[in-house]
Amino acid sequence: MKKRGRPSGAGSSLSADKIILAARELLTAEGKVPSIRRLSAELGVDAMAIYHYFSSKAVLLEAVTVALVSDIYKPEGRGDWQGDVLRLCISYVSLLNRHPGLLETMLSMKKFGPADVFRERFELALAPLSLPKVLIDDALNLIADYLHGFVLAMECQNMECQKKSGAILATDIERPVRMVMFALEQNID
């Protein structure tokens, strides 16, 4: 039976983290962002209880996507910067490939929470280079646009749009990403 109204104080087992976890699980299982009604049914609570923690579906959606993107590789920022950039990019592409429609969801968001996670980790990977911010921003924009196009190609393949060509794998980004890293190396003093 659904609990109606606001969650009760200390006795409530509902929390923002529990809602995000359930939304992530539904997203993974069903391949789409669950409705508030579907999510409340999964949690066994009234939909209004979810709104107690998240003021709108958009706020919940941002929290879920940030939680998903937070699972990508996190560089330590002090060692093999090229390996860190490559692992970051591959983990990002792999995440987006595992969750069809996540990229479109992220790109349609008015807030940039998920993008901020990738940006922070990209900057951390490049920290040992002490590059000017404008150069890091240019590299980030170039790589992000490339990765997003790559993910769209993977989704197209998954929808059988590219039957004639070989399978596209997340690791196929290595050579193009290394080209960007080579360009960055040319700017190291």
Domain ranges, residue 109: 71-185
If asked whether residues 88 and 148 sit together in one domain, one would say: yes
What pLDDT is attached to residue 161?
A: 55
If asked whether residues 106 and 155 sit together in one domain, one would say: yes
Give this prediction's pTM.
Answer: 0.82
If asked whether residues 50 and 86 sit together in one domain, one would say: no
Name the 3-class secondary structure at 110. coil
Going by C-beta distance under 8 Å and a sequence separation of 6 or more, which residues neighbour residue 126? Answer: 81, 85, 136, 139, 184
Flag whether 29 is in a domain.
yes
If asked whether residues 92 and 162 sit together in one domain, one would say: yes
Flag whether 62 is in a domain.
yes
Q: Tell me how many domains the chain contains.
A: 2
**Environment class of 125 (CB within 10 Å of its CB; exposed 0-12, middle 13-18, buried 19+):** buried
What pLDDT is attached to residue 9?
A: 47
Flag whether 6 is in a domain.
no
Contact between 188 and 129 (Cβ < 8 Å): yes
If asked whether residues 85 and 147 sit together in one domain, one would say: yes
What pLDDT is attached to residue 10?
A: 40
What pLDDT is attached to residue 180?
A: 92
What pLDDT is attached to residue 158?
A: 61
Flag whether 11 is in a domain.
no
From first to last of the 189 residues of the chain, give the pLDDT tens digit. Answer: 444 555 444 445 899 999 999 998 888 888 777 889 999 999 999 999 999 999 988 888 889 889 999 999 999 877 799 999 999 999 999 999 888 778 888 888 877 788 899 999 999 999 999 999 999 999 999 999 999 999 988 887 765 554 555 678 888 999 999 999 999 888 876
Contact between 23 and 59 (Cβ < 8 Å): no
